[in-house]
Amino acid sequence: MAPGLYTDIGKKTRDLLYRDYCTHQKFTLTTCTPEGVAITAAGTRLNESIFGELQTQLKTKNLTVDIKTNSESDFLTTVTVDGLGTPGLKSILSLVVPDQRSGKLDFQYLHELAGVNASVGLNPNPMVNLSGVFGSKELSVGVDVSFDTATSNFTKYNAALSLTNQDLIASLHLNNHSDTLTASYYHLVKQHSATAVGAELSHSFSRNESTLIFGSQHSLDPHTTVKARFNNYGMASALVQHEWRPKSLITISGEVDTKAIEKSTKVGLSLVLKP
């Protein structure tokens, strides 16, 4: 099987530890027209601020067009073309208005022994990014570099290693110009109940600081999942997510600083409605 893209290394652990946790209120509604156009409206309240977003998506056999606008008057257009005459090859064109320098063209290629992503900015002095993963689904290594043509400097050079077996995934990342080393693991304990545990340990050499976070999840039934996490700074979080109809989810999450319980509790609510 293909090793995937660079962003797939450690993704299982990141999803377990960070996905669906929130300390704000968010409402998302998706509808579909008879012609197959999906329209999604989302609103997020964070403290006293409200952020709105409207997205329209049109899919055909090999073409996907996304048009997204928000309450800050930004327009993001993304065009994705699959295939391009070669199996496993995909191109992605994105542009944000009014920031005309934000245009970017991506190419992704998946092979049974490699996954490559290349992107270049659509401006006179573009940022060029290249990432690749080589190996197999069981063992793979990857690199991720960015080059700024305006300054002729490498702005990013990262590396990663991934080891996968039937129920365990381990990964190692070296990021931030070799300043941060991150090790993570994900263990699927019981497949029928989606019970899993995971952890992530990051160490900054320049600050001589380490961050350790543990997390777990368990499905109470086919439609209800609970998750919890805790880090070495005393921050604890938990959530419960219920799928009350297909693709429609309600998530309630909370976060507390165990060193200051009386004044730090935060509660988030997310409601997703899809046809």
| Closest listed residue to residue 109, CA positions, set 89, 79, 137, 136 | 89
The model's pTM? 0.91
The total of other beta-carbon atoms located within 10 Å of residue 40's CB is 19
Buried b (16+ CB within 10 A) or exposed e, 235-247: eebbbebebeeee
Q: Which tens digit of pLDDT belongs to each residue from 252-269?
A: 999 999 988 877 789 999
What's the pLDDT tens digit per position in 51-93? 999 999 999 888 999 999 999 888 899 999 987 777 888 999 8
Pairing mode, if any, of strands 63-70 and 168-175?
unpaired
